[in-house]
Structure 1
Amino acid sequence: MDKNKPSRMYFIGKKEDFDQAKRMIVTLDGRDILIIYHQRTFYAMDLQCYHAGSSLELGDIEEINKKLCIVCPKHKYKITLAEGEGLYKAANPAEKLSTPQWFSKGIKQRVHKVMEVDEDIFVTLSNCPGWVESDYYQTEKGRAELRKAQESKDGDEDANADEDV
């Protein structure tokens, strides 16, 4: 993200719009964003999972290690809603009776600020400097990779449809 570019608040909608939907996808300044309303709190993050670009829109929300996370529906990666931190569970193989614990991979998914002002919902895109892995799917190269994967998937579905005839 360009840290020199001034932050701008984007109007997303009314709070009541989220009472039923709970999630919304918007494109802001060319960036695909997922807005989530969960337990009376708003969150916003890049739409595509940092790992392989799958959409997080249908991901389950779970509490993991006392943090709310979205679970990528494709590969089950866990991402904290508030920070964009990747979490994983592992045990120390050097210990015979090691109990698996949750660990952080660090910030992997870019999160954005959501504000509520008089029932209006606004998002300000993150301008934190540095590369976050989910940034890749907001680049032209990343978007081309997503299109290619979607076209391949669509071709597979078309081929399978022919087999059922």
Structure 2
Amino acid sequence: MTPKYSYISSIEFINKLEFEYIETYSLQRGTEFETESKVGFKEFEKLQKQLEKNGDLSEIEMSRLLMLKKLHGFTQYLINNNGEFHPSAEKTGTFKSDDQIIEKLKSILNTPIKEVPSWMCAPVYRDAIVFYDLNKEIISTLNVCLSCEYMETRMFNHINADAETYNLMREFFIELGHKVEEN
């Protein structure tokens, strides 16, 4: 089945979204994560080569390969298709819809779109926002890659934003305590 791609503007995204509160998250960063990621990727490659060479793996090895493939074979999002948060995710804050932080976020996402960045790299989502309704149910997420200036709500659901939006998002996340790397 061919994936269905969708594209909406950051302006349309934030103005159509009705939410009660948000949680902000930082993920896929830090020396511990980097070390674990390198070790896990080497194990993933080893098991993948072993499977290709021998044609089979033990049940435990196959289970481990499938788990590692989820972490190393695809773009990582804050929340996976099973509704599970990324193992490296750290919540950095919770803000009600009437908080000044929300007004700042809305202002950032309403930045007029003049130039949509189009880097040729794969996004690595290290910052994210989860939007909740009154019943504490997730209604949307916003995965943000500040390096390649890209956003998605989930796989194939892209958010177009102006280049300046990403500069403002960087400042926003730093203000919330995210350890955002410099480009």
TM-score, structure 1 length as denominator?
A: 0.25
So what's the TM-score if we normalise by structure 2? 0.23
The structure where strand makes up a greater share of residues is: 1
| Structure with the higher helix share, 1 or 2 | 2
RCO higher in 1 or 2 (8 Å CA, sep ≥ 6)?
2
